[in-house]
Structure 1
Amino acid sequence: MLLHSGRCLPVKKAAALFESALNKRLITEGELSGVIGALPSKVATPLSRVRGDAESGTETTVRWWLESLRVPVRPQVVIPGVGRVDLLIGNSWIIECDSRQFHDDPEQYHRDRARDLRLRAVGYTVTRLTWEQVFLQWEETEQMLLAVIRRRDHRRRPAA
């Protein structure tokens, strides 16, 4: 099925599926290398950037978009005193890719806001994106994210 996806889907959508399969341990890195190796080079070359640490298709999609702009982005970064964040852009901008499945529970909502406040206190800026913003409202979301990138807010160093 992944081979078929790699041949038929746009590269970014195939990447989201591949990363999800790796993260959920439905396929090993070795098996995925075999799948990617069986694809035409115009597809296999970009898919060689696939990682196993993305926790959602939303995260993969946003990371690949940032990478396509050559904006420095690191996934799954551990911030001392806070824990792991989805994406660290530049030095100080964190993007969390939230889904209802994991972030709609009132307790998780409060934990997320407490994390955001801790991050803000040490100089990070947090943006939370929903699945809908990435997949249904991307044009508007993209313009707003580009405005932040153009201001170069992400290049500021946090206090921590």
Structure 2
Amino acid sequence: MPDLLLALDHAARCLPTVKAAILIESAMNQRKLTRPQLVQLLEGLPQKLRIPLSRVRSDAQSGTETAVRWWLEERCVRVRSQVQLAPRVRVDLLVGTNWVIECDSRRFHDDPAQYREDRRRDLALASRGYRVTRLTWEQVFLQWESTERMLRAMLRRREHRQVLRA
């Protein structure tokens, strides 16, 4: 099996930046890549790759989350990852002040108990003024053109910048 750093170096050089970021963030989240190893990886890359990849984080819990966050960041939209908004309610992405984007996969969200928990969380968030959008892996990676068009329409309305009222 190839060395992880070598594989990630090749990914950074050969794949689109966001796809390399997905691999790097996944390795970091799974604790297979340490911060010093990330620094070593980035130092070995040309500046045109090193600068954008310096945005990688270790808290992204899925490639879908990374892809959506990077898309928003590239549009200079304020987005935060893994934000605790209420007791027992941590969200994948908080866009602006009040738009929550959850990046769901069948693996974790098709279970009946998880489905109920997701709806409990959505209701708790809605009661506090948050708007929740759930995106599937398929919407992000297989139907991106359509998904992107809808996300752009939502951003144009600027509702994600409204002040929450208690």
The TM tier, using the shorter chain, reads over 0.9
Task: Figure out how many residues of one structure are paired with residues of the other and give that number.
Answer: 160
SS of the residue 1:25 aligns to: coil
Q: Report the Cα offset of residue 119 of structure 1.
A: 0.4
Distance in 2, Cα, partners of 1:83 & 1:115: 6
* Residue 23 (1) aligns with residue 60 (2): no
The aligned amino acid for 1:126 is: V
Identity, % of aligned positions:
61
What is aligned with 2:99? Answer: 93
SS of the residue 2:91 aligns to: strand
Q: Report the Cα offset of residue 14 of structure 1.
A: 0.3
CA contact (8 A) 1:82 1:118 kept: no
Q: Report the Cα offset of residue 158 of structure 1.
A: 2.1
SS of the residue 1:79 aligns to: strand
The match for 2:40 among 34, 40, 45 is 34
Where in structure 1 do 4 or more consecutive aligned residues deviate above 3 Å?
A: none
TM-score, L = length of structure 2: 0.94
What is aligned with 2:16? Answer: 10
Distance in 2, Cα, partners of 1:77 & 1:32: 23
* Residue 75 (1) aligns with residue 75 (2): no
What is aligned with 1:60? Answer: 66
Can you give the 5+ residue segments of structure 2 that lack an aligned partner in the other structure? 1-6
Distance in 1, Cα, partners of 2:61 & 2:165: 28
What is aligned with 2:141? Answer: 135
CA contact (8 A) 1:82 1:119 kept: no
